[in-house]
């Protein structure tokens, strides 16, 4: 099992997928690998989808000899109750579903029990290794490599550089050699960039298509949610773009699930570094004072409620703040990624950015979600191209703001549930 390279067709484990040598994948996110998605939806491949933070902790726990652990991630969703499709039949029916999890109550709060993962072999990529097997990872390439290195009976490391013992300073080593069994010198150091993303000039916004201008309206409004000194996590797509519009007079520390704190703007073409990417696999920069760490440490920050605000995309949101944003069963599967972990963290404000309606005009804000849930009663604010809703616990939706040119009646007609209107509602963006 490997965490990264299956995401790109024909690269890493993508090669084994193409030759039908993989029976089951345990993963959190499918990425842009169309062959992976095709095999899964056609019943050729079994896929066990797991929240990304849970996956990181399952691997870390496996390496530490811990058979199982409890987490609040996934409570109230199919993660807890079972029912996530693992294997489809050729006719589109589901042959194998995930099973219900055991639960426990600690300090009055419910948790699911997750079993740890270890493997016969762990395949790891390192920047540097010494002849004792001590490892150093570079920038965001730490991610799952560090916990994975501890979780295999036999850990095989491909290193870009093998150095003599003593060249790596003890306080620079990420994984001690006790975990490593074999080292291979990287012969052909090709680093695939899944999403080459460079800085764009905002001056050309007026000439963009109407659909993109609508998205920018949402993005700019979302950027007003940031407060000085805040630690924030931004989801893939519109949420990440909001970082381009942060008020220059404030400082916001952006965290990425793959192990970066202090994300900067997208790079210029000259600044592109394949070892420096965000959770969406986009090339990024890091600000002064930023830091890198492994994925299990990253999700420890999230579960430990160190993140003040998370901005996510949404497919559907209910009037009570339930969120669905990761799968359309039998049709579209990207995987849950880190979203289930992010919305399960107590004390983290969750803001959802989304189009108010689907392409066919049907509402995406509903009395109840129809798609599998990412989280239950987890959303605090919804920002769309039409308005801003707050989710008021025990009461439902409160219309706070209107987008330019939108009326309360238009919002009501485009919304699939009842809501109340704030006395001072006005056009604000």
Catalytic choice (257, 282, 316, 401): 257
In the annotation, is 257 catalytic?
yes
Cα–Cα nearest to 59, from 12, 3, 21: 3
Q: How many CB atoms lie within 10 A of CB 167?
A: 13
Q: What tokens were used for 74?
A: 């996934």
Nearest-CA neighbor of 357 among 402, 395, 428, 412? 412
The pair phi, psi for residue 211, each rounded to 5°, is -65, -40
Contacts of 111 (CB under 8 A, 6+ apart): 70, 71, 72, 75, 103, 104, 105
Cβ distance 395 to 421 under 8 Å? no
Q: How far is CA 124 from CA 28, 146, 149, 173, in A?
A: 18, 8, 6, 15
The helix (H) or strand (E) run that includes residue 163 is strand 152-163
Q: Which of 110, 38, 102, 78 is nearest to 340 (CA)?
A: 78
Q: What is the CA radius of gyration of the chain?
A: 22
For 198, 279, 294, 298, the CA distances from 290, given in Å and listed in that order, are 20, 16, 14, 13
- Residue 400 CA to residue 391 CA, distance in Å, equals 10
Residue positions annotated with a catalytic role: 257
């Amino acid at each position: 099992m490997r965490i990264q390279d299956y995401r790109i067709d024909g690269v890493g484990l993508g090669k084994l997928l193409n030759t039908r040598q993989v029976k089951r994948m345990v993963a959190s996110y499918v990425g842009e690998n169309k062959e992976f998605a095709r095999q899964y939806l056609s019943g050729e491949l079994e896929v066990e989808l797991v929240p990304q933070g849970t996956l990181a902790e399952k691997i870390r726990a496996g390496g530490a000899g811990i058979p199982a652990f409890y987490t609040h991630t996934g409570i109230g969703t199919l993660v807890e109750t079972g029912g996530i499709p693992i294997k489809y039949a050729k006719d589109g029916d589901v042959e194998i579903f995930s099973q219900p999890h055991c639960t426990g109550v600690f300090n009055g709060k419910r948790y699911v029990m997750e079993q740890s993962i270890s493997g016969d072999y762990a395949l790891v990529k390192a920047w540097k290794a010494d002849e004792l097997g001590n490892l150093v990872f570079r920038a965001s390439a730490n991610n799952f490599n560090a916990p994975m290195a501890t979780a295999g009976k036999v850990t095989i490391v491909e290193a870009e550089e093998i150095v003599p013992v003593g060249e790596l300073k003890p306080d620079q080593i990420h994984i001690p050699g006790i975990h490593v069994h074999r080292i291979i010198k990287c012969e052909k150091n090709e680093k695939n960039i899944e999403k080459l993303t460079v800085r764009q000039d905002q001056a050309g916004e007026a000439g963009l298509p109407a659909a993109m201008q609508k998205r920018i309206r949402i993005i700019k409004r979302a950027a007003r949610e940031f407060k000085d000194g805040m630690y924030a996590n931004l989801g893939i797509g519109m949420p990440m773009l909001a970082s381009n519009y942060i008020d220059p007079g404030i400082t916001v520390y952006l965290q990425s699930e793959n192990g970066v704190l202090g994300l900067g703007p997208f790079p210029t073409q000259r600044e592109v570094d394949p070892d420096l990417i965000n959770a969406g696999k986009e090339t990024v920069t890091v600000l002064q004072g930023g830091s890198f760490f492994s994925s299990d440490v990253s999700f420890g920050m999230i579960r430990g409620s160190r993140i003040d605000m998370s901005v996510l995309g949404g497919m559907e949101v209910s009037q009570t703040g339930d969120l669905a944003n990761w799968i359309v069963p039998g049709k579209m599967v990207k995987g849950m990624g880190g979203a289930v972990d992010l919305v399960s963290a107590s004390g983290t404000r969750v803001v959802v950015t989304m189009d108010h309606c689907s392409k066919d005009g049907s509402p995406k804000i509903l009395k109840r979600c129809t798609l599998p849930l990412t989280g239950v009663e987890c959303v605090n604010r919804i920002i769309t191209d039409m308005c801003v809703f707050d989710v008021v616990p025990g009461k439902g939706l409160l219309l706070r703001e209107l987008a330019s040119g939108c009326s309360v009646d238009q919002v009501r007609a485009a919304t699939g549930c009842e809501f109340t209107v704030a006395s001072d509602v006005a056009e604000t963006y």
